[in-house]
Structure 1
Amino acid sequence: MTHLTHAPGARRAFTLARHLKSAATAALLAIGAVAAWAAVPQAAIQAAPVGGHFLDRSAQISAAGYTDREFFISGLARTYRASSTLRSDGKWSAYVYSSNTPYNTPLLVRRPADPTKFNGIVIVEWLNVSSGYVLDIDWIMAKEEFLRQGYAYVGLTNQKTGLEGSKEKNPTRYAAGNLPNDDISYDILSQAAKAVRDQYQVLLGGLVPQKIVATGHSQSALRLTTYVNAIQPLERVFDGFVIHGRGNSGIKLSSGDLRGTPSSTVIRSDASHPVFQLQSEMDVNSQSDTSKATDSAKIRYWEVAGSSHSDQYMLEGVYSVSTRPPASCEKPANRMPFYRVQNAVYSHLVKWMKQGTLPPTAPRITRSSLLNRIQRDSYGNALGGLRLPEIDVPIATYGIDNSTTGSFEFLDLFACTTSGSHEAFTASRLSTLYPTHADYYNKYKAAADRALAAGYLLPADHAKALQQASTAPIPR
């Protein structure tokens, strides 16, 4: 006897039922996503006086057709607590513990003045507060890509230390600012994303966002790790994440939460939206457990050989809006052009979010099997990892150690110890490695071409790198 499901009519009925079930499941998931978005409280947005705000970069970006405006976002923020043990696999669960903490804090918006230049992507940066002031680190690092591709950018002050630093610099402008604690920082991030989506007429001058990305460096990356693992599954307000220079774990959900974070945490393997993790050599040297990350359909992890937590390029961006003189360090800061890799990260993320195109993978920095130490070549440069032409065709040792020779104040000490070092090769070594400039350039171009083909350099940065190499005084 023929089994019932093997009959042609039965097969069609079975197939139809299966498709209906899949459609119903998709509809329920879509409804759930909308419901999660709707659960985020609506914040109030107020425009601040034009100009004169902290981190005002108007003079730097106006020629590129960009505006730089500050707003204040306010409302009632929620706090979260863990509903179970926070495990090392990152599959954290959380619940809303309270929902009535008033706040008022600044956010800045940089966007193309010409709507036709907008690429539809809004980058929301969790501004870094490690210095005691807000710093737009990921703007500094990726500004070339943001400006040339037409991204809109939002810099959010959602930690108390950052707001207090702004008040110190301009007590009058930020007098109404109110961030009673950092427990509400996660929800303020969600509310800022919702405001971008729902109040784009005010915040973006009418530019309609297609995708919203959260990004953050260092301490902000630690908090974004917690956000991705615990908050994003609940709220789903972001379409993608860039976590730059993170530590081994995250930061617990609130100060009153008895459940702390484990010493080591990966990004959850069932992440709902793309998460790009970008680490310098210095990051993985001190936070080696981050190398446990596993690439998947929603996770990418890159380690850049020869790079440091901060570097010369980053410091120049910080000092361009700082009234503080540059720190005096024992060695010149690291000059590996890490920022070019970060440019590529955002470009890949956009294709990942919009088209489902997976970014390329990258090898991990090589470590010894015995002590897990980073392995180095005869010049002191790291082996393995994502490699830019500067490390494959070296003219210097790109180190991760430095110290201050001047002030031992925290800001100066921090600037020196995190910026790594650049120790140029001697003229005799350069002449041995590269007998002629043409020899140097040809080797450099071959390495740059490999990085371009691998997806670690964008075409615009590849062209810029070759132009610089063509005029470099090598050998000396």
Structure 2
Amino acid sequence: MAAVAIRAVALSTWMALYLGGPLAGPARAQTLSMPRVEMVPDDGQLPLSSARRPGTEYLDLARRGYEEQEYYLSGVAPAITADGRTVADAPYVTRFLIRKPSDPARFNGTVIIEPFSWFGERAAGWILTRDYLTRRGYAFVGYTLNINAPRHDPKFPVDAGGTSEDARRYGNIVNFDFMRRFDYARYAPLGSYYDDRRFLRGGLPDPFVPQAQGISAELAMLLKSNLPGGPTAGLKVERVYVNTWAVNAQIWMDYLDQGRHQQWRMPDGRPLIDAYMTGRLAYGEVAGDAIRVPRHMPEGVPFVTVFSQSETLHDVTEGIALPPDSDAPRLRYYEVMGTPHLRKADLGTDEVEPMPNEGGKPNDPRCQYLYDEPAELPFSALLDAMDRWVRLGVPMPREQRVARRGRAVVRDQATGNIVGGVRPPWIMVPTAEYWTDAETGCGVVYDTKLPYPASRLRARYGSYAAYARRFDQAKRRSVAQGYLLPEDAAMLKPIASADDFRSDRR
């Protein structure tokens, strides 16, 4: 997506703002109105984004001891501008899916919430952590933040021809219009407030739903209230965590930056949200401020951001330095090398992306192979570490930042890979060079890797058996560092095969 130019903000400025900048403090604590909730009538079709539907979100829920239900959520929520002004309190109707243990005794007390993506209504956080969530007894709620297609869709800034390549590619899988085409009877009631003349971000119509913050807060309040007959009936919800990936992560930066964590509370004064994790988005990349620390950090609650290699390169080339980690406030940033911004496994309903060799450099050897490593493993370990920080008070690990040389990363000459950051086993013991589209110019959304030829593998490791032993050692180091869970390490196989040591990939 075309992005508004980003203004780099120095770390000292961020911290000055946090410690007492020009913004007014958050409004005094208040309780929002409790939304209404009704189960969506069954029309004989599986709902959009269902984990029971074949596709990227699929999981055999019954085998995991889980069930899935879909609800309408309706109420009145503030419509807020990108700079934090409330324009109006307006009605809305949206929907959410809840996946929860069928046996309440298996529920661990925590609900994860995540807005579905703009593109194809996918839940990236669910895709990345579903095995972990269902092993550990979490409930998961994915919900829709969307609008009816306006005159000029802010997701797709127009070019000189009055449209855009992004609109031509993605226009049919966004907004409530896409959902109604998918299943009109089910999604006809959905609606939320938007006016492209009153809601601006970076000087252009704001692509984010103006009621996103209020809808998210009201949903969290509903889930944490443990209402009889509600979607969590029979469960005792003690905590609500944000785990939002890709473009909607910006919503939570806005939420915190504008002081909503302090402003909107449960009726008894408890926070609505107990931890915030976002990933695979560089705040401000779509439009707006490129700050990396909210001006109003939540007290005693983690704020965790996870960058793939792609977002890491974005901040390096823009000259944006990440803030130092701290325990007070609870702030963590992780740059996870060898993980891409998007995988084929992450695509939403009806989303199709061209392969790297179908872009602008079809013969470039760096544009032939996608990352196929299990990025969900380090991401799940980080979510688990955040949970332990909340429940047990055990601080999350700290990791060194990626090495920079000006506005470029430093790559190790022996491996071809970036120095620093979180290093999964496939980066500790590499069998490929991992690249981003920002570096290769392959011209697609995916990032790519360049596998080592057989001669380079043999020169580096000697034999497949020696490589496999070193990979096992790397798994143990990763578990000790806190970036791989022991149960996941047991299933993680070496990335290269014995055949890769004998002959080059075709």
The TM-score with structure 2 as length reference comes to 0.74
Q: Deviations over 1:359-418 (max 9, x none)?
A: 0011111111xx32011123431111110110121111222128999xxxxxxx9xx733
2:230 is equivalent to residue 202 of structure 1:
yes
Percent identity, aligned pairs only, is 24
Distance apart, 1:475 and its partner CA: 2.6
* Counterpart amino acid of residue 308 in structure 1: P
In 2, the alpha carbon distance for the partners of 1:164 and 1:457 equals 40
In 2, the alpha carbon distance for the partners of 1:328 and 1:238 equals 38
2:75 is equivalent to residue 75 of structure 1:
yes
2:292 is equivalent to residue 292 of structure 1:
no
In 2, the alpha carbon distance for the partners of 1:343 and 1:172 equals 36
In 1, the alpha carbon distance for the partners of 2:62 and 2:320 equals 38
Partner of residue 11, structure 1: none
2:456 is equivalent to residue 451 of structure 1:
no
- SS at 2:391's partner residue? helix
Q: How does 1:272-291 map to 2 (within 5 A)?
A: 272=299, 273-288=301-316, 291=321
Distance apart, 1:246 and its partner CA: 2.4
In 2, the alpha carbon distance for the partners of 1:120 and 1:267 equals 28
Partner of residue 40, structure 1: 32
2:200 is equivalent to residue 183 of structure 1:
no
In 1, the alpha carbon distance for the partners of 2:296 and 2:261 equals 13
Partner of residue 391, structure 1: 427
Q: Work out whether residues 334 and 399 of structure 1, in 8 Å CA contact, stay in contact via their aligned partners in 2.
A: no
Selected match of 2:88 from 95, 98, 122: 98
Q: How does 1:82-161 map to 2 (within 5 A)?
A: 94=84, 96-99=86-89, 101-129=90-118, 131=119, 133-160=120-147, 161=174
Partner of residue 65, structure 2: 65
2:418 is equivalent to residue 382 of structure 1:
yes
Relative to structure 1, the CA distance from residue 404 to residue 277 in structure 2 (aligned partners, 3 Å threshold; closer, same or farther) is: closer
In 2, the alpha carbon distance for the partners of 1:349 and 1:270 equals 16
Task: Decide which structure has the larger Cα Rg and report it.
Answer: 1
Distance apart, 1:452 and its partner CA: 0.9
In 2, the alpha carbon distance for the partners of 1:447 and 1:276 equals 25
Relative to structure 1, the CA distance from residue 75 to residue 239 in structure 2 (aligned partners, 3 Å threshold; closer, same or farther) is: same
In 2, the alpha carbon distance for the partners of 1:134 and 1:403 equals 29
- SS at 2:326's partner residue? coil
Distance apart, 1:233 and its partner CA: 2.3
- SS at 2:305's partner residue? strand
- SS at 1:116's partner residue? helix
| The 10-residue stretch of structure 1 (112-121 or 269-278) with the greater mean CA deviation from structure 2 | 269-278
| The 10-residue stretch of structure 1 (322-331 or 357-366) with the greater mean CA deviation from structure 2 | 322-331
In 1, the alpha carbon distance for the partners of 2:430 and 2:494 equals 14
Distance apart, 1:430 and its partner CA: 1.7
Distance apart, 1:76 and its partner CA: 0.9
Backbone CA RMSD of aligned residues: 2.8
In 2, the alpha carbon distance for the partners of 1:287 and 1:345 equals 21
Q: How does 1:345-424 map to 2 (within 5 A)?
A: 345-368=382-405, 371-378=406-413, 379-401=415-437, 417-424=444-451
- SS at 2:185's partner residue? coil
Q: Deviations over 1:327-362 (max 9, x none)?
A: 433123222432111101111111111122110011
* Counterpart amino acid of residue 263 in structure 2: L
Selected match of 1:342 from 371, 379, 390: 379
* Counterpart amino acid of residue 47 in structure 2: H
Relative to structure 1, the CA distance from residue 438 to residue 247 in structure 2 (aligned partners, 3 Å threshold; closer, same or farther) is: same
* Counterpart amino acid of residue 488 in structure 2: D
In 2, the alpha carbon distance for the partners of 1:54 and 1:290 equals 37
* Counterpart amino acid of residue 183 in structure 2: N
Distance apart, 1:72 and its partner CA: 0.5
In 1, the alpha carbon distance for the partners of 2:320 and 2:117 equals 20
Q: Work out whether residues 431 and 496 of structure 2, in 8 Å CA contact, stay in contact via their aligned partners in 1.
A: no
Count the aligned residue pairs.
404
Q: Work out whether residues 412 and 418 of structure 2, in 8 Å CA contact, stay in contact via their aligned partners in 1.
A: yes
* Counterpart amino acid of residue 72 in structure 1: Y
| The 10-residue stretch of structure 1 (419-428 or 161-170) with the greater mean CA deviation from structure 2 | 161-170
* Counterpart amino acid of residue 104 in structure 1: V
In 1, the alpha carbon distance for the partners of 2:134 and 2:473 equals 28
Which one has the bigger helix percentage? 1
Relative to structure 1, the CA distance from residue 352 to residue 464 in structure 2 (aligned partners, 3 Å threshold; closer, same or farther) is: same
| The 10-residue stretch of structure 1 (423-432 or 208-217) with the greater mean CA deviation from structure 2 | 423-432
Distance apart, 1:96 and its partner CA: 4.6
Q: Deviations over 1:398-445 (max 9, x none)?
A: 22128999xxxxxxx9xx733201322212222222222221111112
Relative to structure 1, the CA distance from residue 69 to residue 112 in structure 2 (aligned partners, 3 Å threshold; closer, same or farther) is: same
In 1, the alpha carbon distance for the partners of 2:440 and 2:432 equals 21
* Counterpart amino acid of residue 450 in structure 1: R
In 2, the alpha carbon distance for the partners of 1:446 and 1:213 equals 33
Q: Deviations over 1:290-347 (max 9, x none)?
A: 6422211211111011222113xxx22436xx35566433123222432111101111
Distance apart, 1:145 and its partner CA: 0.7
Q: Work out whether residues 356 and 448 of structure 2, in 8 Å CA contact, stay in contact via their aligned partners in 1.
A: no
Partner of residue 170, structure 1: 183
In 2, the alpha carbon distance for the partners of 1:105 and 1:270 equals 28
In 2, the alpha carbon distance for the partners of 1:332 and 1:390 equals 15
Distance apart, 1:98 and its partner CA: 2.8
Relative to structure 1, the CA distance from residue 404 to residue 43 in structure 2 (aligned partners, 3 Å threshold; closer, same or farther) is: farther
* Counterpart amino acid of residue 324 in structure 2: T
* Counterpart amino acid of residue 166 in structure 1: M
Q: Work out whether residues 434 and 475 of structure 1, in 8 Å CA contact, stay in contact via their aligned partners in 2.
A: no
Relative to structure 1, the CA distance from residue 176 to residue 269 in structure 2 (aligned partners, 3 Å threshold; closer, same or farther) is: closer
Distance apart, 1:66 and its partner CA: 1.2
The TM-score with structure 1 as length reference comes to 0.78
